[in-house]
């Protein structure tokens, strides 16, 4: 029984490794956000639309050295739509981090002091900003978590609250994506 179980696991690993190999990052964010190409989908992507998404991110991995996959979702959003033919200038993203996720916006120096390692999200945040993404942190959350604006990564915007930023962006035609 045991050899069959092990063989089944090996077969699944082989099959899934083939799927993973067809995933690719870019053309917007080259180092992050790998996605699969979907050939001839039934629900067609209207490549003439402007895609404006605001990502509401409040969770973070327990492991301080692990990338926050919810943040990487914004890179996947940009890459998959660009790969599907949406012009990059029609792709707009904003990330609003609050609650536990606020730590993912700390500078390497501040993160190192608190957690003993560099911020694993720093390069991803920088790449999203370079692609025109807005990165916003809840002022209420950073205050309650005990760190200051000076401890944040460059160009992170502090809002009065996550709620405030979410309302304003949605009033400006950003569609909410909750993670």
Does 170 reside within a domain? Answer: yes
Does 114 reside within a domain? Answer: yes
Task: Give me the CATH number covering residue 132.
Answer: 3.40.1260.10
Does 130 reside within a domain? Answer: yes
pLDDT of residue 179: 67
Domain encompassing residue 85: 27-33+50-178
Ranges of residues in the chain whose predicted pLDDT is under 50: 1-20
Does 1 reside within a domain? Answer: no
Q: How many CB atoms lie within 10 A of CB 155?
A: 12
Does 11 reside within a domain? Answer: no
The total number of structural domains in the chain stands at 1
Which candidate, 108, 105, 83, places its Cα nearest to that of 96? 105
Say what the pTM is: 0.86
């Amino acid at each position: 029984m045991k050899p069959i179980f092990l063989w089944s696991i090996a077969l699944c690993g082989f099959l899934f490794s083939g799927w993973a190999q067809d995933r690719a990052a870019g053309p917007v964010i080259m180092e992050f956000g790998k996605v699969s190409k979907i050939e001839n989908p039934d629900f067609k992507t209207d490549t003439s639309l402007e895609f404006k998404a605001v990502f509401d991110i409040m969770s973070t991995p327990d492991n301080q050295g692990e990338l926050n996959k919810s943040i990487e979702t914004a890179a996947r959003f940009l890459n998959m739509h660009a790969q599907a033919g949406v012009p990059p200038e029609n792709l707009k993203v904003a990330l609003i981090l609050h609650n536990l996720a606020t730590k993912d916006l700390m500078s390497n120096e501040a993160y190192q002091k608190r957690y003993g390692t560099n911020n694993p999200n720093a390069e991803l945040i920088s790449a999203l900003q370079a692609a025109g993404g807005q990165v916003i942190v809840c002022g209420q959350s950073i205050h309650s978590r005990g760190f200051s604006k000076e401890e944040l990564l460059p160009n992170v915007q502090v809002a009065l609250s996550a709620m405030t930023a979410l309302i304003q962006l949605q009033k400006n035609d950003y569609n909410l994506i909750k993670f």
